[in-house]
Each structure stands twice: as C-alpha cells, then as structure tokens.
Structure 1
Amino acid sequence: MRILVTGGCGFIGSALVLHLVQDLGHEVATLDALTYAANPVSLQPLADDPRHRLIEADICDAEAVEAAFAAFQPQAVMHLAAESHVDRSITGPGAFIRTNVVGTQVMLDAARRHYEGLGADKASFRFLHVSTDEVYGSLPPDAFFTEASRYDPRSPYSASKAASDHLARAWAETYGLPVLVTNCSNNYGPRHFPEKLIPLMILNALEGKPLPVYGDGLNERDWIHVEDHARGLVAVLERGRIGETYLLGGRAVRNNLAVVEALCAAFDRLRPEGAPHARLITFVADRPGHDRRYAIDPSKAEAELGWRPTKVFEEALEETVRWYLANEAWWRPIREGRYTGERLGLQKAS
C-alpha cells in the first residue's frame, strides 16, 4: 500500500513508519513540519530505501497538503501529527489549537477531496485518526476507559485532541469519509523526545540530576510500548470497521512514582557506580489540573482485531534505558540544544 503518515518524524510516528516500511514492505510518505519534537534522525534507517519519502510540510498549510496528496496518491492516511505535551499546552495553548484542530480539519478536507476522486479504489481507502485517552478526563480508582467513555478533557492539549476526534467523526458522518479513530494510553520506548516523563528521567539519572516527580507521584497511567502501539495502529487500519473507535492500551497501569522507581532500579543494575539512583527522586509542585488516573480497557481491539500488547512493562522499560545508553548520538543534540530538561507548564503565558 501507499500510506501517507503525518508526524512520522515524531516518537510514535517514527516507530510506525519503520514498522510499515521495514517489517511490512509498504510505501510510505512521511508528512512532517519538523518542529521541535520531530527528529529526522529517527528515520535514518530508511535514508536509502526507495519505499520511503519525507515531505517537509505543515498540516495547516492546505496548499502543501494538497500537493502531497496529488504527488503521492495515498491509499490510506494515518494521521498522527499533533502537539502533544500537556505542560507546553498550559503555557501556550494556541499552537495546540492550530495544529491539532485546524491541522486536522485541513487533513480531513484534503483526504475527502482525494477520496472523492478515487473511483473504483474508494472501497479500500481509509483515514486513521490517532488520538489519546486524555480526551476522557480523569478516572476514579480501579476504573477503565472504554470506547463508550464520556469525553471530559481537562487540559488545553486534551481539549484540542477531543476537538480533532469530533472533527474526524463529523467528516465521516457528513461527507462519508471512511474514518477510523484510535485513542491510546501513555507510550514509552526508544526515540522519545526527552520532555516526557520516562526519557526525561533516564537522561537526568544518567547525568546525576534530580528526578522531578509531580505532586505525591501517585497519578496513574496505563503504559504501552511504542512498538506495540504501532502494531495496533496497523491492525486497526487493516481490520478495523469503518466508523469505529478502538482503544489501544498496554494493560500496564503504574503510578508515576512506581515508574521512576523502576527506572532507578534499572539504572542500579546497568550503572551500579551511581547507585542508589532513587536518592535523586525529588517531589516538585504538581502540574495545574493534573488528572489523577488514566487506564484503558483494550478488550475491543483485542477481540475484533487479534491484536494485543506483547511487552512486559518492567522488562521493556529496562530495554528502553539500554537504548538511551547506547544511542547518545540521537539524544545529545536535543539535550544540548532544543530542550535541556527545564520544567515546563508552570509559568504564565505571555
């Protein structure tokens, strides 16, 4: 297949593109604006692969998006491009509205025009919109999100993603675009921009810096390895029912403090000269509006698609630490340039 992937130089996007091309043999065009969190180095393994092309363009640029559709003639779209860091959305929500809402509208319009011109090939075309479990808000203890959960976004980020979900479904109902929607839990794994919890803690521990844990550290998240997520997205694209939503989770609910402690234990094994790394844990002021619990019940995707998460969290977490230890060339330019590990999200917007 020819698949257009937006945001393919990002964390989840790069894992997906590598899987589509290297493992499955698809032809992929990556459409990416190469903003701060994108890293083309993540797709370096495909540099000489004729099955992949990189199109540097903003999804809010309707002319550039139309040109990408015309040049590549995709048989499917997997839309991942988004601003995704809650802390940054607290400081500057405008970028999130622009990319996540307006950008999604531009993509949907371009996909609709492309779809309407496909003729006999319309039957196989799909538009997969990739979203987050944060659109559902905060759960009580021991509860789980399902596809029937009520939307209740609590941050500018989650509100912008909720809006994009509604747009995708509206284009399906109004224009007949064959849309699929996924909502995933927190991802982890290699090539993750180090503003997020796990890569930030890994690099801070490596450098002997404090490991800042928000509030009491007991906010819970369901963790899915990025490679399991990529496989789940392909399963939805290939076997999902048009118009349906599928929740993709890792069945690995952990509170933030437990995650950081597991990372410290991994570092104690891999870098014992710095042990005990747990001494670096520091509790800091909580994030404004910090949701207490997210957790996904992925039963629908497992039953309908034959997909399920395969990674054991603590084992895959240590594999992730090993990847960062072995790939300084990937993260060092980021750490010394675009993001040095500073706290985000508490300052007032200017």
Structure 2
Amino acid sequence: MRRPTLTALLLAAATLVLGGLPSVASARERPVNTGTPGSVCRASYPGGATDPALDSTILGALPAAYEVGAPAGGGDVQRVMIVVHGGGWYRVGPGMLDADRAAAAAWRGAGWETVNTSYRACRHSLGDLLALYDAVRAQVGPAVPICLRGESAGGQLALMVAAERPDVACVIAEAAPTDLFTIRAQGVADGLTQAPPLVFGYARAAFGRRRLRAVSPVLNVAGVAARVLLAQAADDPVIPAQQQQELADVLRAARPSASVDVDLLPAGDKVFVHGTTSAAGLSELDGRVAALVAPFGSAPVSAPPKPAPLRLPSLLQQLLKLL
C-alpha cells in the first residue's frame, strides 16, 4: 500500500487546485464543490490571453480559446498534435493555455503543427474538444495524422476523443482518470484516501453521476484505433495506478493488435503531473513517446519544462482546503 510523500501531496494540490495557474484564486473565485452537477462549474478564475504570435482564428469561431502553431521549418502540414490542459474539468479559458505552451513549442520543434486548446467547463468540455478536433480534421484533410496529448482531466478528454473519433492517430495521456465510476474505491484500496474521492466529486459535479460511465474511457474503447501511451508518476496521490492498467487491459482485450504502452515513472526530484519523477524517468518517457509517434514523425528530443510549483505556504494552504 503506497503512502504518498508530503512533497507529492503538495505537488498534487498545486496541479489539482491550480492547474498551473501563476497565482492563487481569491476566496471569491474558489469553487464550492458539493458534488452536485454544476456546483464547481460556476466558479471564475483569473483570465489570460492567447499568444499573439500564434493563430487563434484559423479554425473558425469555436466555443473555447485555442492557439495554432506552424511546425518548425514551415511547409505543408504533415502531422498535428493537439495539446489539452488539465484542471479538474472546471479551470478553463485562455489563461490555461500558458501551462502547455512549452510542450506545444517542443512539438513544433519536432515538426508538428500544434493546437494548444482550452474548452468550456464541465459538461461542455468533451463536446468542445470534439468540435475542435473536427475543425482540425476538416482543415488538414483525411490523410494527415492527428494525435492528442493531455494531462490529468485533459488526458481523460483526449482518450474520449479517440473513443469518439476512430481516425485519431495516437494519444499521450499523462495521469489521466480513465474510470470515473470506480476511481474512489480504487483510491481507497491503494491507500489514497483523500484525493481520488475528490476527483470523483469533481467528475460528478462536472458531468453528473448518471454520465460518469459515458465519459469514462475504460467503458468506451470499442472504437479506439489510436496508438496509446499512458504515463503516470509512481508517487501520484491523485490517480490510482489501476486506472492506467485497467484501460490498457480493456484496450488490448478489445483489439489484440492494439499499440498500448503503460509507463509508471519512478519518483524523483523532477516535477511530473500530480507527483514527481527522476531525470532517468523523463528520459525513458521521451523514448516511449518517440516510439509511439514513430509511424507519423519525430518526437521532441527532451521532455518540455514544467511550470515551477508555487511557494510552499501557498501549496500547503490549498492542500488543507482540499483535505
């Protein structure tokens, strides 16, 4: 039974509560999550703006902010990576794009067009991401491979797009909740008694209890043809490790020839989604990402830098509000 370290819990709090935002939301802006549909979704968060160096209009008037960047070297688009932020399904908007700009830039450097996107909160999130995917597909045509990379809730949404759109080429899901219906019980079984029930509560608030099965990737993979990489920190106190293995097992059972890779990263002194890993862990993940996308193109040569965590007092304050 794993006992998460204080460092991992604090990093988890930063990711779960703040989603990489540069400042702490005021008391007026913090959500009150009662677990009922929509309760957490009415909160507002510090705004932001799209990057003026990137194109935020080329895909048309979509429901949420996005930034399209051309691959390094220019030329025709050969491959596309859609980058999806996390944030508990309710921290959304242009301000959230900043957390993934470094990752998007790294993919452009490897020769991919990138679409760094947000979505409207909660029940609108999956529909908005599907609308964006369809707009990208309409622009690049049927032959160009489109992959998605998502962290935490963004990973769940990326996997659900692959479940809904069989022409998705690949998905990189980092610390994604894959079974929103069972995550609470799995967390208790793993000794993670605090955060997984919170994830369940946020999911129930976002989608409604009756829809948790409909938005759980593990229960909707029959049509998934994409190559899939599931990565998670070994000291992740938020998402039980069974969530990744359960999805991998279901994908392989549904399609024995499926390309599915699960990477449980060792703990270390580097920031990873919800937890930590080592330089060796990041290097191994880079290799697995490269193998995943090899049929379509190159991968970034090194893991993109993560936003620095907030100062310890701010993290601790937020953690105490969660527990």
Larger radius of gyration: 1
Into which bin does the TM-score normalised by the smaller protein fall? Answer: 0.3 to 0.5
> Structure with the greater relative contact order (CA < 8 A, sep ≥ 6): 1 or 2?
2
TM-score (norm 1): 0.36
